Amino acid sequence: MTVWDVIIVGAGPAGIFAALELCRKTPELSVLILDKGHDLETRKCPGRGIMGGCLKCDLCSITCGWGGAGAFSDGKLTLTNRFGGFLHEYLSQSGLLELIHYIDGIWLEFGATDRIFGTEKSAISELVRRAATAGLELIPAPIRHLGSDNSPKILNNMYEYLKPRVAVRMLSEVKQIIVHDNKVQGVILADGSEERCRYLIAAPGREGSSWFSEEAMRLQLTQEINPVDIGVRVEIPAVIADDITEKVWEPKIHYYSRAFDDLIRTFCVCPRGEVVIENTGGVVTVNGHSWSGYSTDNTNFALLVSKTFTQPFRKPITYGKYIASLANMLGGGVIVQRLGDLWEGRRSTEKRLAKSMVEPTLKEATPGDLTLVLPYRYIQNILEMLKALNNLMPGIWAKHTLLYGVEVKFYSARVKVSEDMSTEIEGLYAVGDGAGITRSLAQASVSGVLAARGISARG
């Protein structure tokens, strides 16, 4: 039986950047990439644009396959060490920033656009001041926008580069990690076959976060519970946010509620973009895209309530899926509600939506009542932040504002890793969002590089 030097489980940004770094640092090592999804050419959503939307395919082409869940996302590289994951707990701030610039150079090499938002210091300072007067913290950061239409092209360029240098097997789902005497031995695939290796990089992505969390428990790896992020996606007329998004593209805004002192934050701001659906393990959630080639008249963004639960709670992904499944049960998928209807304590209907000055970009969403889905605490937190945001972006606190639910970020419980992303099991590395280590495209890429360098140093 062939024994690979390195097996990488997952072909998202973390896995891809691990492979790229291994090829450049130690090209003599044999590398195998395994992913349960399709390659980019065959990653097509059959439910896109049809009434009813998500068909709940066993294998979701939006969330898994070459490029991971980010392949068709808004494609933003946040070039900062201030947010986007937990790598600052393993590296110095300067070391992390240096690696972010390093991976940014690789994205550029494979076709990323030159333009960076958020570099005009005087304009940013004024936005930070305005946010502060509204009781909000705007965290400035330079952002390179790839675009939902451009990201696949870049990822395909990476695929073409890696194809002659490493073995890539799509539609190859990994079921179990093989460990003997606390040393990794390989993996067992869904078809019962085995692949052996000296080193294993687990880069499962958000789609594989549940699987890896269960494997970590089975292997008795130490895990730390990450915050659970649940909320809604807000859609407004783009002109309301243009003043800010034209300067920073994605404003990262934090707010602590008066009622509960919970953190509510903006996430994945999509200027002049569209709201889309995702299928994670049969649970339909909402997300957003922005395209570099065309635009809409709306801007959308997520408002997420972050909650860190204490013992005995150990299943953040299960909790998030439970909340999202309520929306699926009541609305057949994603629910949309006008803010005005939420104020009035009534559900939205097709007739009421038709009166709105904001035309929904997600046609498949079902008009409904989010108070039947989200706990009271979440609703109050979201309403409180929307009211505060209105002081920064006048017009958000309006009856026409649309709220889509539910948006959930499935960040796994975080396994204990060292600076090079190695776990407590010899030869096993954990990287990316699905391992609970990162929360962004940039830091996921960095984590892959760290694991590859750790392996290269061992030879």
pLDDT tens sequence across 90-116:
999 999 999 999 999 999 999 998 888
Residues 203 and 192: beta-carbon distance below 8 Å: no
Q: Which of 202, 255, 89, 224 is nearest to 428 (CA)?
A: 202
The answer to whether residues 218 and 232 belong to one domain is no
Q: Which residues contact 302 (CB under 8 A, 6 or more apart)?
A: 231, 232, 233, 234, 266, 267, 268, 287, 288, 407
245 domain residue, yes or no = yes
296 domain residue, yes or no = yes
Alpha helix segments (H runs only) across 70-150: 93-109, 121-133
The answer to whether residues 239 and 361 belong to one domain is yes
Is the CA virtual torsion 94, 96, 102, 104 positive or negative?
negative
The answer to whether residues 188 and 286 belong to one domain is no
81 domain residue, yes or no = yes
Phi then psi dihedrals of residue 256, to 5 deg:
-110, 120
Higher pLDDT pick, 59 / 39: 39
In CATH, what number is assigned to the domain containing residue 186? 3.50.50.60
Give the pLDDT of residue 316.
Answer: 72
Instruction: Express each pLDDT in 348-403 by its tens digit.
Output: 999 999 998 999 999 999 999 999 999 999 999 999 999 999 999 999 999 999 99
How far apart (Å, rounded) are the C-alpha atoms in residues 331 and 410? 21
Please state the domain count of the chain.
2
Q: Which domain holds residue 248?
A: 228-409
Q: Give the residue from 387, 409, 431 where a domain finishes.
A: 409
The answer to whether residues 405 and 425 belong to one domain is no
10 domain residue, yes or no = yes
The answer to whether residues 437 and 338 belong to one domain is no
241 domain residue, yes or no = yes
Tokens of 191: 């078809």
Instruction: Express each pLDDT in 188-244 by its tens digit.
Output: 999 999 999 999 999 998 888 889 989 999 999 998 877 789 999 999 999 999 999
The answer to whether residues 363 and 291 belong to one domain is yes
267 domain residue, yes or no = yes
Instruction: Express each pLDDT in 304-349 by its tens digit.
Output: 998 877 767 667 778 888 999 999 999 889 999 999 999 999 999 9
Instruction: Express each pLDDT in 262-288 by its tens digit.
Output: 999 999 999 999 999 988 778 899 999
The answer to whether residues 204 and 312 belong to one domain is no
Owner of token pair 């920064």 = 392
> pTM for the complete prediction?
0.86
Tokens of 300: 């959308």
Could you say which DSSP state residue 294 is in? Answer: -
94 domain residue, yes or no = yes
Average pLDDT, the chain: 91
